[in-house]
Amino acid sequence: MGLIIYVNGEFVPEERAMISVFDHGLLYGDGIFEGIRAYYNRVFKLKDHIDRLYDSARAILLDIPLTKEEMAEVVLETMRRNGLREGYIRLVVTRGVGDLGLDPKKCKRAGVICIAASIQLYPEEFYKKGLEIVTVPTRRNLAEAVNPRIKSLNYLNNILAKIEASLSGAIEAVMLNAEGYVAEATGDNIFLVKNGVLLTPPSHVGILEGITRNTVMDLARARGIPVEEKLFTRYDLYTADECFLTGTAAEVIPVVKVDARVIGDGTPGSITRTLIQDFRELTKTDGPLIFPE
């Protein structure tokens, strides 16, 4: 039995979940999205994701035809229609149907799509042993071009970096900004630990300000771990005591080698392991219920 997909006000079987070939989301990547997780019959950090979706829409002058409350209910109902208490939700808002020109004013109404399914980005062994990643030539988009804080449908910048990582035999890539500072991975934020301090790049360096990123910083502060948002380079990665990535799909995943440099002792560090555990505990209680208990 296939999935039930929300498309522009209707819940339809996946084989009928279609959009027009004139939708500017398809033609030009003109739109926005959120990736959201559900755990233990709750949609994790749903309000934060909805708020970020609407911030992205405002930044590109995209009028979403639903209120935030209505959008949250679309997410919950999509989970219910698929009988899911855990999973991954992809919420997409396109500019809508227009013509073959670029003018967004030709698109009369935005399109809204919600998909709920299962996901496993990395095998469990990587959470125990850690990832080996590389830096790549493709630089992160300039904030003055396509600002990375907008979670847009145009992910070609990230995809090119992912291709470079794959060609080098790595599972993930670290992207630098135009000045050579560490920005983020292709789909995740990056953290390092040095002398007991948790460090991550600030939003102005050219990153998507991740929901999981912000959650992990809050968890660290609650543990009394100092947290700093500051610029750093590959040298700081190479000489870090610990390193890990964060993202909705990836959650919190250790990194044990960058560009063939072993991080720390080559195993996930104690702070990383603590934050993985704290994050997993939080997923048990955060977010609105999908099905009444």
Burial 260-275 (b: 16+ CB within 10 A, else e): eeebbeebbbebbbeb
What pLDDT is attached to residue 249? 93
Residue 155 burial (CB count, 10 A): 15
pLDDT at 245: 98
Element (H, E) at 4: strand 4-7
Contact assessment for residue 246 and residue 212, using Cβ atoms and an 8 Å cutoff:
yes
Active centre residues (catalytic): 151
What is the CATH number assigned to the segment(s) 4-117? 3.30.470.10
Q: Check residue 65 and give its pLDDT.
A: 98
Instruction: Decide yes or no: CATH 3.20.10.10 for domain 124-282.
Output: yes
How high is the pLDDT of residue 1?
66
Consecutive 10-residue runs of the chain (293 residues): their mean pLDDT?
Answer: 94 97 98 98 98 98 98 98 97 98 97 93 91 97 94 97 97 97 98 98 96 98 98 98 97 98 98 98 98 92
* Residue-range domain boundaries for the chain: 4-117, 124-282
